[in-house]
Amino acid sequence: MTTTPATLPDDPTLDELRLALAPAVADAVVFDGWGDAAVRAAATAEGVDPDVAALAYPGGPMDMIAAWIESVDLAMIAALPAERLAQMKIRERIAGLVFARLDAMRGREEALRRALSVMAMPQNAAQALRLGWRTADVMWRCAGDTATDYNHYTKRTMLGAIYGATLTVFVDDESADKSETRAFLDRRIEGIMRFEKAKAQLLGGEREHFSIARFLGRLRYPAR
């Protein structure tokens, strides 16, 4: 489990406070849910004025969740710096980045479960979609992806779907060292590698119009 991503300066801005308190807010969610009570509890635990902390999340629960996701980004980047990723094959980079994120959330599975429920609410759908896209984009950029054509979008769509499916396994995984989650992720990535290889052979290197509906169908009903 990670701690706050950075030590707060003596007079932090609201943006600095928002990000630094996010992991502590996630810890408090187990008892208080994603709401003002969790922010107050986190502020008290970190020695911050609760009234000031409340100002850091004007958008309510979704602001809190977004800040936590950003703190997970930072933990992932710290765990897998560019020089280490450069030594890995692309498949290893993606799997490593996903698991670095999961490691940053380990011990906070209940906070994640509640976050997924909040994000699934109809009024939060658009923001949740943007957060999911940003997460996939951060991972691909860390992995060294520089695509600007249609592959830029299909790669992020695929990884976002894989990551989202993996989260649903992770929150209920009680196996040693999350081995069930790791196996699930490995199968999803292997499936995509086979799919891409078969596509390349079938098309002879020519571009195919990617079907998001077909791809998401494969992820929604995978062979476990």
Q: pLDDT at position 3, please?
A: 44
SS (H, E, C) 19-58: HHHHHHHHHHHHHHCCCHHHHHHHHHHHCCCHHHHHHCCC
Domains and CATH numbers, the chain: 14-220 (1.10.357.10)
pLDDT digits (tens, 9 = 90+) for 166-187: 999 999 999 999 999 999 999 9
Single pTM value for the model = 0.83
pLDDT tens for residues 14-69?
999 999 999 999 999 999 999 999 999 999 999 999 999 999 999 999 999 999 99
Give CA–CA dist 29/110, Å, rounded: 8
| Per-residue confidence (pLDDT) for residue 126, from 0 to 100 | 96
Distance between CA atoms of residues 172 and 19, nearest Å = 27
Q: How far apart are CA 28 and CA 22, in angstroms?
A: 10
DSSP state of 2: -
Question: b/e string for 33-69 if b means 16 or more Cβ within 10 A?
Answer: ebbbebbbbbbeebebeeeebeebbeeebbbbbbbbb
> 80 φ, ψ to 5°?
-130, 75
- 16 class by beta-carbon count within 10 Å (0-12 exposed, 13-18 middle, 19+ buried): middle
